[in-house]
């Protein structure tokens, strides 16, 4: 018997159903959010989590079902509506304008500037920051803030109109361990004040640590729940096991231990980066004398807090960004002056982390996005004429092999869930026969099982002789598949060191700029 | 086994629903295209009523003189030829995200060179050779003219909306200068080029005044439609239009593509001028300002770059233009109705887009 919560629920979702052509995204969902409770929402990629919170935050209208706020049936017509009813959402992608100050962002996003004067807004900011127990300078420019601080601003914005429900969609994926720690404190504080929190994550440990209650979605349906009593009374291992089974519908081993194999001592050095520098507008260069040498089949992990030059390094290697000095050498030949296409022809691939911005073309079908980097190539085009059948056949195979959840290969890729879109990008890149691959956060937004499958594929490719640069903010992933690892901090790359157990602490220190190993 | 069976039926059902979805989408986009047209007619009618004219007899005259009467119908078909060619060029530029608003200047530049060259070449070449040469020259001159905004855009990132519009003004002045200084016919009093003899003009069809330029226009629109949808090049252009960052990431050569988009799109405007000069005008005056290109812009958007709709809208526009001239004369009002209706059409289109955006948010 679970202890009944005496208070009226903050929100009740009753029989929520939402279908898209060919997909039931949410099917008869019943979910109750209680004040003072963190409710973790788990589920594989495409399970329907974002759709559900989209409905709650007014972005998506359900086909059927009822939403009650504090016992009263309501219709939430728009995100503004949701905010006004005290439902605030922190989306996966930041909605803040980096060139504006914190205060201007808040005025712009929440109040349109005319409802609330600047002084009143400052006072409200003070109120909310006290509630969160964080320090936020209203006049600092958002672009200068660390990601953790930016997220705090997003939370302030979500709570601007009053505190009822706070929804966090994968909030920790971009944070440092310290930032994540701070977020946990903030959330704890908010629930102790009676807020209801919805917490979406693919990291099971986080979900169980922070959540008072866990709900699991699969293929649009609720397939299981873990009550607070169960969370307190049963062993973590047992619960983990059960939840994994709920998420994936089968016994699933989502760990990805020890994929790394040895690189042959005699393997030749294929890829060398020599003193690459890119000047920046800020106080330190974007890339500062970056050098490393890789053997055939070697995986070099590049760890670091987001925004220390990793993305820029990847772009320079891919040819998307101009380096001010330095050299990139593949098989004793400089590729420095080659175009993006010419580098691709030489087998250099860049798997971008920006799936919406540059990784995909939203209105085009999944099939065409799969051949995006091969437009005009045989057998998909012949005499420059498109051969839809052969593109579709190829796409169907990759969709099947990579378990992309989509009604069929002709739907616009923009309709896919975040994780499934990422699967398409990886499928596209893994299908080619590369020599050197630069991965930038390839598992971002993927569920645990897919993450382990992707890591295994990367490791397998390396065994087959593909040289790999693996940029990630997840130390556990780096440790599991990389041979050596280096840390980027303010544009500088540390000396690569061999991966061995217990290395995480040292990497953590390097990531925050401490130079002692 | 039965599970497998289930799955295939589900897949089949999904495909059927996808096809249904597509059909309703086509239906809906036709409807969204027609609503602005109807709206423009209703408001236009109200204005006529306010002016004390009978809107029904006005529209009746438009149809009569633009479509039903044989002379009007011929004139409509003749007007369609250059409009179709300009539209073909815009069907390349707009989906590729390039706002070529300089077709008027490109038209004039192509036209003035063709007008000078035509009478020059006519005595030496005949028929097919003469016309293809003029067509190629018209296309090439406009294409070269468009290299200015193309290079400004591809190398320096300068916005083409402004540069192409500006170049129309420069093109008009420059062509007038060419006519006055170099190309003028010494035997006339007004500054104009020599006239291409009627015998040397484009062949006519169906024993009417309609020349084969109309066929060139149809072929161009259909060919561009096909190219944009079925070739690798067309897909590249659409990708550049939908997400230029993805095009760069995929390794596409943005500079080359930008140049291709400008030159092709402008080339068709030049070809339009060549067709019209070799087909009907035969001459260019110094103060020539045909101003046809910008009128095509809303039509191409309204048709969502689809060949059949482009042809339909241009036909309707030409009927209205030709019929409107006569109807205005009969109703004794200035010949502003066509422009006014195009303006209304734009307003209703913008409204339609807004409504669609709102309703798609609801679903
Ligand atoms: N606008 C849309 N049009 C069509 N289908 C959609 C749309 N939005 C979502 N879907 C489909 O609904 C299903 C659920 O998607 P949703 O984004 O809710 O998944 P998710 O649980 O958030 O997954 P992820 O962990 O990958 O973010 C997916 O199969 C997706 O393809
Ligand atoms: Mg999601």
Reduced 3-state DSSP string for A257-303? CCCCCCCCCCCCEEEEEEEEEECCCCCCCCEEEEEEEEECCCEEEEE
| Structure token pair of residue A96 | 């803040």
The whole-angstrom distance between B232's CA and the closest CA on chain A is 5
Residue A320 has pLDDT above 90, yes or no: yes
User: Of the bound ligands, which one is closest to the alpha carbon of residue A47?
Assistant: 1
Alpha-carbon dihedral of residues B328, B331, B333, B339, nearest 10 degrees? -30
Give the position, in ligand 1's atom list, of the atom nearest the Cα of A49: 21
**Candidates A22, A361, A407; nearest CB to B246:** A361
Task: Identify how many contiguous H helices and E strands chain A contains and give both numbers.
Answer: 17, 23
**Candidates A78, A373, A385; nearest CB to B251:** A373
Instruction: For residue A201, report the distance from its CA to the centre of ligand 2, in Å.
Output: 9
- Indicate yes or no: CB of B250 within 8 angstroms of CB of A372: yes
Half-sphere exposure of A466 (CA within 13 A, CB side): 26
Write out chain B residues lying below 8 Å of A357, CB-based. Answer: 245-246
Look at A9-13, A90-94, A297-301, B165-169 and tell me which has the smallest mean pLDDT.
Answer: A90-94
pLDDT confidence of residue A223: 93
For the Cβ of A413 lying below 6 angstroms from any atom of ligand 1, the answer is no
| Structure token pair of residue A430 | 């893994």
d(CA A509, CA A500): 16
- Indicate yes or no: CB of A386 within 8 angstroms of CB of B15: no
Look at A186-195, A480-489, B60-69, B189-198 and tell me which has the smallest mean pLDDT.
Answer: B189-198
Give the position, in ligand 1's atom list, of the atom nearest the Cα of A202: 25
- How much of chain B exceeds pLDDT 90, in percent? 44
**Domain regions of chain B by residue span:** 54-332
pLDDT confidence of residue A2: 41
Give the position, in ligand 1's atom list, of the atom nearest the Cα of A411: 4
pLDDT confidence of residue A106: 83
A224: Cβ contacts below 8 Å, ≥ 6 apart: A215, A216, A242, A243, A246
Note the pLDDT tens digit of each residue in A85-137: 889 888 877 778 888 888 888 887 655 545 667 788 888 888 888 877 778 88
| Structure token pair of residue B124 | 């030496």
d(CA A111, CA B251): 42
- How much of chain B exceeds pLDDT 70, in percent? 88
- Indicate yes or no: CB of B233 within 8 angstroms of CB of A340: no
Higher pLDDT, B83 or B343: B83
Residue B6 has pLDDT above 50, yes or no: no
Higher pLDDT, B353 or B297: B297
Q: How would DSSP label each residue in A446-515?
A: --HHHHHHHHHHHHHHHHTT-EEEEE-S-HHHHHHH-SEEEEEETTEEPPPEE--TT-HHHHHHHHTT--
Q: How many CB pairs under 8 A join A and B?
A: 82
* Three-state secondary structure call for residue A101: strand
* Mean pLDDT within B128-138: 93
Name the DSSP letter for residue A373. G
pLDDT confidence of residue B240: 96
Q: How confident is the model at residue B348 (pLDDT cuts 50, 70, 90)?
A: confident
Q: How confident is the model at residue B18 (pLDDT cuts 50, 70, 90)?
A: low
Look at A254-258, A310-314, A479-483, B118-122 and tell me which has the smallest mean pLDDT.
Answer: A254-258
Average pLDDT over chain A reads 86
- Return the closest-CA partner of residue A391 out of A412, A360, A413, A370: A370
Q: Which fold has domain B54-332?
A: ABC transporter involved in vitamin B12 uptake, BtuC (1.10.3470)
pLDDT confidence of residue B4: 42
- Indicate yes or no: CB of B236 within 8 angstroms of CB of A376: yes
Contact indicator for A72, A61 with CB cutoff of 8 Å? no
pTM reported for the whole predicted model: 0.86
The whole-angstrom distance between A448's CA and the closest CA on chain B is 26
pLDDT confidence of residue A255: 53
Residue of B nearest to A377 (CA): B232
Note the pLDDT tens digit of each residue in A30-80: 999 999 999 999 999 999 999 999 999 998 999 999 999 988 899 998 888
Task: Indicate which residue's Cα is closest to atom 1 of ligand 1.
Answer: A415
d(CA A366, CA A412): 6
- Indicate yes or no: CB of B231 within 8 angstroms of CB of A372: no
Residue A479 has pLDDT above 70, yes or no: yes
User: Of the bound ligands, which one is closest to the alpha carbon of residue A444?
Assistant: 1
- Return the closest-CA partner of residue B145 out of B178, B172, B167, B161: B167
For the Cβ of A20 lying below 6 angstroms from any atom of ligand 1, the answer is yes
CATH numbers and ranges of domains, chain A: 4-248 (3.40.50.300), 253-347+435-517 (3.40.50.300), 357-432 (no CATH)
Contact indicator for A219, A416 with CB cutoff of 8 Å? no
The whole-angstrom distance between B112's CA and the closest CA on chain A is 35
d(CA A410, CA A395): 9
Instruction: For residue A24, report the distance from its CA to the centre of ligand 1, in Å.
Output: 9
Instruction: For residue A162, report the distance from its CA to the centre of ligand 2, in Å.
Output: 25
Higher pLDDT, B210 or B5: B210
pLDDT confidence of residue A515: 61
Best residue of A55, A62, A357, A384 to probe chain B, by most B CBs closer than 10 Å: A384
Higher pLDDT, B313 or B228: B228
Note the pLDDT tens digit of each residue in A224-275: 999 888 888 888 888 888 888 888 886 555 555 555 566 666 778 899 999 9
Name every residue in A having a CB less than 8 A away from some CB of B. Answer: 21-22, 61, 78, 318, 320, 339-341, 343-344, 350, 352, 354, 357-364, 368, 372-373, 375-376, 381, 384-386, 407-408, 410-411
């Amino acid at each position: 018997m679970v202890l009944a919560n005496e208070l009226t629920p903050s929100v009740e979702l009753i029989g929520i159903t939402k279908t898209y052509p060919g997909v039931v995204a949410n099917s008869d969902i019943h979910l109750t959010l209680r004040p003072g409770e963190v409710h973790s929402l788990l589920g594989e990629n495409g399970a329907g989590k974002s759709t559900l919170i989209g409905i709650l935050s007014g972005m998506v209208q359900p086909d059927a079902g009822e939403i009650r706020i504090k016992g009263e049936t309501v219709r939430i017509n728009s995100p503004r509506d949701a905010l006004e009813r005290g439902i605030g959402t922190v989306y996966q992608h930041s909605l803040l304008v980096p060139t504006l100050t914190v205060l201007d962002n808040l005025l712009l996003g929440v109040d349109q500037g005319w409802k609330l004067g600047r002084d009143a807004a400052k006072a409200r900011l003070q109120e909310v920051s006290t509630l969160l127990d964080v320090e936020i300078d209203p006049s600092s420019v958002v672009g200068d803030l660390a990601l953790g601080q930016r997220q705090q601003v997003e939370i302030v914005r979500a709570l601007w109109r009053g505190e009822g429900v706070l929804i966090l969609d994968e909030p920790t994926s971009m944070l440092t361990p310290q930032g994540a720690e701070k977020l946990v404190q903030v959330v704890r504080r908010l629930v102790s004040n009676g807020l209801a929190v919805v917490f979406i994550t693919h990291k099971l440990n986080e979900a169980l640590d922070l959540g008072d209650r866990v709900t699991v979605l699969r293929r649009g349906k609720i397939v299981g729940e873990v009550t607070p009593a169960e969370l307190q009374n049963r062993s973590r291992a047992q619960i983990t096991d059960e939840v994994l089974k709920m998420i994936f519908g089968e016994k699933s081993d989502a760990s990805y231990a020890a994929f790394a194999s040895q690189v042959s001592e005699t393997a030749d050095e294929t890829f060398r980066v020599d003193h690459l520098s890119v000047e920046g507008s800020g106080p330190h260069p974007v890339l500062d004398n970056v050098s490393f040498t890789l053997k055939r089949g070697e995986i070099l992990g590049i760890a670091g807090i987001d925004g220390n030059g990793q993305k820029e390094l990847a772009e320079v290697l891919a040819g998307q960004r101009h380096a001010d000095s330095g050299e990139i050498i593949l098989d004793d030949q400089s590729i420095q002056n080659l175009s993006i296409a010419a580098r691709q022809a030489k087998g250099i691939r860049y798997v971008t982390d920006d799936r919406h911005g540059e990784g995909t073309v939203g209105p085009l079908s999944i099939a065409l996005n799969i051949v995006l980097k091969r437009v005009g190539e045989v057998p998909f085009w012949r005499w420059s004429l498109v051969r839809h059948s052969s593109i579709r056949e190829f796409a169907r195979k990759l969709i099947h092999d990579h378990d992309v959840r989509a009604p069929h290969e002709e739907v616009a890729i923009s309709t896919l869930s975040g994780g499934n879109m990422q699967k398409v990008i990886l499928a596209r890149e893994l299908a080619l026969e590369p020599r050197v691959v630069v991965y930038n956060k390839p598992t971002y937004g993927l569920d645990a099982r897919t993450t382990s499958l992707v890591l295994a594929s990367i490791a397998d490719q390396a065994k087959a002789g593909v040289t790999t640069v693996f940029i990630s903010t997840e130390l556990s992933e780096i440790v599991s598949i990389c041979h050596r690892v280096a840390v980027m901090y303010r544009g500088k790359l540390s000396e690569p060191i061999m991966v061995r157990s217990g290395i995480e602490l040292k990497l953590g220190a390097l990531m925050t700029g401490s130079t002692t190993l | 086994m039965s599970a497998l069976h289930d799955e295939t039926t589900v897949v089949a059902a999904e495909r059927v629903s996808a096809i249904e979805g597509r059909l309703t989408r086509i239906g809906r986009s036709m409807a969204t295209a027609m609503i602005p047209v109807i709206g423009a007619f209703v408001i236009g009618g109200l204005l006529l009523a306010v002016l004390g004219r009978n809107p029904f007899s006005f529209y009746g005259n438009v149809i009569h003189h633009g479509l039903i009467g044989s002379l009007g119908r011929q004139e409509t078909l003749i007007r369609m030829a250059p409009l179709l060619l300009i539209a073909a060029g815009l069907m390349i530029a707009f989906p590729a995200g390039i706002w070529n608003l300089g077709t008027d200047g490109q038209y004039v530049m192509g036209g003035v060179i063709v007008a000078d060259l035509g009478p020059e070449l006519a005595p030496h070449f005949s028929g097919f050779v003469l016309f293809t040469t003029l067509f190629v020259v018209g296309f090439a001159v406009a294409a070269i003219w468009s290299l200015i905004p193309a290079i400004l855009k591809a190398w320096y990132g300068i916005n083409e909306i402004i540069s192409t519009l500006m170049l129309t003004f420069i093109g008009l002045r420059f062509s007038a200068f060419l006519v006055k200084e170099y190309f003028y016919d010494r035997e006339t009093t007004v500054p104009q080029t020599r006239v291409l003899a009627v015998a040397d003009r484009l062949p006519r069809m169906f024993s009417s005044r309609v020349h084969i330029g109309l066929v060139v226009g149809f072929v161009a629109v259909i060919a561009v439609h096909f190219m944009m949808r079925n070739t690798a090049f067309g897909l590249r252009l659409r990708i550049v239009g939908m997400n230029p960052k993805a095009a760069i990431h995929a390794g596409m050569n943005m500079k080359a593509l930008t140049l291709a988009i400008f030159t092709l799109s402008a080339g068709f405007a030049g070809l339009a001028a060549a067709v019209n000069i070799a087909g009907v005008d035969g001459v260019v005056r110094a103060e020539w300002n045909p101003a046809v290109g910008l009128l095509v812009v809303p039509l191409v958007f309204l048709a969502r770059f689809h060949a059949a709709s482009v042809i339909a809208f241009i036909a309707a526009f030409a009927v209205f233009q030709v019929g409107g001239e006569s109807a205005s004369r009969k109703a004794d009002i200035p010949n502003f109705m066509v422009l006014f209706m195009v303006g209304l059409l734009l307003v209703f289109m913008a409204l339609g887009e807004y409504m669609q955006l709102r309703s798609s948010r609801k679903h």
